[in-house]
């Protein structure tokens, strides 16, 4: 180029060329007539008014039922990341149109089975990408944080169109390997088992639905559900105790189950720790406490505050034993 063009002008010209080429090919197939091709190509005055949409892209109220189904089916086509992205982009394409109609869900296929060992769940990866398209950076980060907290603390899968396996697990992590391994161990199935695949398909549907719920709330199309405070104390068994301590993001609440004088089980009931960072403590600290029968243990690497919060919450619960 002889002159430096702005990015917008460059993109306009690029899109014009690509659009004209696509239109040329389509018209040729339909008619095989060069005159028909020429008559269908917009003139310069028309294409000059084509606007590249600014970020964030337009968002309209979406149907979670449709996206959930498409995400489930998409999982079996090209994995969880692709499935979620396809569910969300299809809905956005139907409700909004351009530019969502020209974003290929195949670009998310690299998140199939996560992004490698010890990495983010692919279903979340697909959701994160689409959230970033229709939300400003600060809003995007908040919605992603809410989505990750929900994923870490919810019994999944919820969506099971081909029948339930009878097993739902709480990942306590956004890590793909941890999430799926926990399910396989609980369900006693192998990775290639159809039950495991249906689980990950259902989880893809769940993530697509939750993403739309959060986006619809953010844009004012729905209201956030306010759940009444549950009276946990009234539902405890004679050998169960609730403990609480302050974590990095707020209170961490646990339930400790005793077998005589021994700690037999520790459940993290609620928290606001950072997914993938603080939540690493939930993957190792409870089991370490049970193994040593003590809250005086080493903290999880990179999650010191969250680790100490779990230990303190367990100690709080133990202080109620025998009372």
Mean pLDDT, residues 70-90 taken together? 98
List, in sequence order, the alpha helices (H) in the chain: 7-31, 34-40, 44-47, 64-78, 80-95, 122-134, 137-153, 176-187, 194-218, 280-292, 304-318
* Separation CA 196–CA 212 (nearest Å): 25
- Indicate the pLDDT class of residue 227, thresholds 50, 70 and 90: low
> Does 26 score more than 50 pLDDT?
no
- Indicate the pLDDT class of residue 301, thresholds 50, 70 and 90: confident
* Separation CA 9–CA 1 (nearest Å): 13
**What's the mean pLDDT when you consider all of the chain?**
84
Altogether, the residues listed in the chain come to a count of: 323
> Does 259 score more than 60 pLDDT?
yes
**Nearest partner of 123 among 6, 240, 204, 223, judged by Cα:** 204
What does the pLDDT look like over 44-63, one tens digit per residue? 444 445 578 999 999 999 99
> What is the percent of the chain with per-residue pLDDT over 90, rounded to a whole number?
65
Structure tokens at 28: 């040729």
What does the pLDDT look like over 132-181, one tens digit per residue? 999 999 999 999 999 999 999 899 999 999 998 889 999 888 999 999 99
Strand order in the sheet with 240-246: 240-246, 251-259, 262-270
Q: What is the pLDDT of residue 32?
A: 38
Mean pLDDT, residues 36-46 taken together? 42
Beta bridge mates, 257:
240, 265
Mean pLDDT, residues 217-230 taken together? 80
Is residue 260 within 8 Å of residue 244, measured between CB atoms? no
- Indicate the pLDDT class of residue 42, thresholds 50, 70 and 90: very low
pTM of the predicted protein model: 0.67
Rg of the chain in Å (alpha carbons): 25
User: 230 vs 129, which has greater pLDDT?
Assistant: 129
Q: What is the pLDDT of residue 73?
A: 98
* Separation CA 237–CA 305 (nearest Å): 29
DSSP states along 70-94:
HHHHHHHHH-HHHHHHHHHHHHHHH
Say which residues have a Cβ less than 8 Å from residue 202's Cβ, sequence separation at least 6.
Answer: 72, 156, 157, 158, 159, 160, 161
**Nearest partner of 202 among 158, 139, 163, judged by Cα:** 158
> Does 320 score more than 70 pLDDT?
yes
């Amino acid at each position: 180029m002889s002159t430096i063009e702005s990015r917008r002008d460059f993109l306009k010209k690029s899109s014009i060329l690509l659009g004209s080429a696509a239109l040329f090919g389509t018209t040729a197939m339909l008619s095989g007539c060069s005159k028909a091709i020429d008559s269908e190509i917009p003139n310069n005055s028309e294409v000059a008014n084509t606007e590249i949409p600014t970020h964030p892209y337009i968002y309209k109220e979406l149907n979670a039922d449709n996206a959930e189904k498409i995400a489930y089916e998409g999982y079996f086509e090209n994995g969880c990341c692709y499935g979620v992205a396809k569910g969300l982009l299809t809905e956005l394409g139907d409700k909004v149109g351009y530019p969502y109609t020209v974003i290929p869900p195949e670009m998310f296929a690299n998140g199939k089975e996560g992004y490698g060992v010890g990495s983010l769940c692919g279903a979340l990866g697909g959701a994160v990408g689409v959230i970033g398209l229709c939300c400003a950076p600060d809003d995007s980060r908040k919605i992603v944080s809410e989505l990750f907290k929900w994923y870490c603390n919810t019994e999944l899968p919820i969506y099971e169109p081909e029948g339930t396996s009878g097993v739902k697990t709480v990942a306590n992590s956004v890590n793909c390997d941890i999430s799926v391994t926990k399910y396989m161990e609980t369900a006693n199935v192998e990775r290639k088992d159809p039950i495991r695949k249906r689980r990950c398909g259902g989880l893809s549907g769940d993530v697509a639905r939750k993403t739309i719920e959060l986006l619809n709330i953010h844009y004012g199309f729905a209201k956030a559900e306010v759940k009444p405070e549950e009276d946990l104390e009234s539902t405890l068994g004679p050998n169960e105790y609730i403990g609480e301590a302050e974590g990095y993001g707020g209170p961490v609440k646990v339930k400790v189950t005793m077998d005589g004088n021994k700690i037999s089980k520790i459940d993290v009931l609620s928290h606001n720790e950072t997914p993938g960072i603080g939540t690493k403590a939930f993957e190792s600290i409870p089991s370490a406490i049970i193994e040593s029968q003590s809250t005086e243990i080493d903290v999880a690497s990179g999650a010191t505050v969250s680790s100490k919060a779990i230990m303190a919450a367990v100690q709080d619960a133990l202080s109620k034993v025998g009372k």
